[in-house]
Structure 1
Amino acid sequence: MAVVLLVEDEMFIRQAAEWALEDLGHTPLVAEDLSGALLHLSATQHIDALFVDIRLNKLALGGYDVANQAIGIRPNLRVLYTSGSTLTDDMTDMFVAGGQFIQKPYSPAQLEFAVRKLLH
């Protein structure tokens, strides 16, 4: 299964996503903001995917900033974006190459499908 860096600033959503990833057999690494994500990305541990909320409160471009910096550190990282907002062309235009999207709220089954699709 995959090692997934989860970046979500809302505690209850972050915890639910972490538990869902664990229940699906993945290893979640958890961060609530860019600095926490960078700590994980700077470590030597392998990371297969970044699962990031587009609307992180403390960043001008939110999850886009996290994804862009993550790709700068780990160019082969796959990125799965999420948001409670409806996906628009303006949003997808800012995705890193190969970035995919899952709409909130999502079920564990939807999350598993999105992670599998992202990694294969």
Structure 2
Amino acid sequence: MLNPMAVILVVEDEVFIRQNAEWTLEDLGHTTLLASDLGEALAHLSASVVIDALFVDMRLREMAGGGYDVANQAIALQPHLRVLYTSGTLLTADMSDRFVPGGQFLQKPYSPEQLGISMERLLN
């Protein structure tokens, strides 16, 4: 059973993928906050709301460090945050070495079921 009512920040620059993640997570009972880039993510992270998890694309356009930078800055603002990375690129050791401690990975393309299972593992 998923951790009920978690607040999850979804950072994804592809609108369709971002919306699908939002719908899936909300169908599971979570509150979602959406961002398409670092600036929008930081606005959510700097607000007074406590965010439980970050679901972030590792390869955000126009960001050299992509999701890694988002995750690192997110952890600096909310140290308890759990991070689930996603990418269409196959995961390598070089990539996972850059994860924040406890960071997990979900390969694109993923189904709503796979996202739900991965988020459950992350939150529990």
TM range (shorter): over 0.9
1:67-82 counterparts in 2 under 5 A?
67-82=71-86
* Identity level (%): 68
Structure 2 partner of 1:48: 52
SS in 2 for 1:67: helix
User: Counterparts of 2:20 and 2:120 in 1: how far apart (Å)?
Assistant: 19
User: Counterparts of 1:119 and 1:17 in 2: how far apart (Å)?
Assistant: 16
1 or 2 for the larger relative contact order (CA 8 Å, sep ≥6)? 2
How far residue 61 of structure 1 moved from its aligned partner, in angstroms, is: 1.0
SS in 1 for 2:74: helix
In structure 2, the gaps of 5 or more residues are none
In structure 1, the gaps of 5 or more residues are none
Q: State the superposition RMSD in angstroms.
A: 0.7
User: Counterparts of 2:87 and 2:43 in 1: how far apart (Å)?
Assistant: 23
TM score, norm. by length of structure 1:
0.98
Q: Which runs of 4+ in 1 moved over 4 A?
A: none
TM score, norm. by length of structure 2:
0.95
Q: How many residues align?
A: 120
